[in-house]
């Protein structure tokens, strides 16, 4: 499925005066991680609520992150948290 690409500054990416469309599982995962539950009206369970996860234990964070990504049909093979930095292997 094609998505509108977001550039490194968080803005919509343009190519030849039009939106840039790409298949980006990594980009979709980042959007899910940064969003809160309820942000997507088509599925209110999508969203990892990272703000709430900051204060939880790492094992709970991994569970919540995996659960949030699963709602958007993203299944990372590995989730690792080190020094509050999340590393996904898709």
Tell me: the pLDDT tens digits for 38-58?
A: 888 888 888 887 777 776 776
Domain limits for position 83 = 3-89
Number of domains in the chain: 1
| pTM of the entire predicted model | 0.62
Burial grade of 14 (CB within 10 A; 0-12, 13-18, 19 or more): exposed
Per-residue model confidence as pLDDT tens digits over 51-90: 777 767 767 888 888 888 888 888 889 988 887 788 888 8
String of DSSP letters for 18-46: EE-EE--HHHHHHHHHHS-TTS-TT-TT-
Task: Please give the span between the terminal C-alpha atoms of the chain, in angstroms, as a whole number.
Answer: 16
Q: Are 24 and 5 in contact (CB under 8 A)?
A: yes
């Amino acid at each position: 499925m094609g998505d509108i690409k977001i550039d490194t500054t968080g803005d919509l990416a343009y190519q030849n005066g039009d939106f840039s469309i790409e298949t980006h599982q990594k980009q979709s995962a980042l959007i899910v991680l940064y969003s809160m539950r309820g942000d997507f009206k088509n599925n209110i369970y999508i969203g990892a609520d990272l703000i709430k996860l900051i204060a939880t234990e790492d094992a709970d964070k991994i569970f919540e992150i995996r659960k949030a990504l699963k709602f958007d049909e993203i299944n990372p093979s590995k989730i690792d948290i080190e020094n509050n930095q999340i590393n996904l292997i898709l």
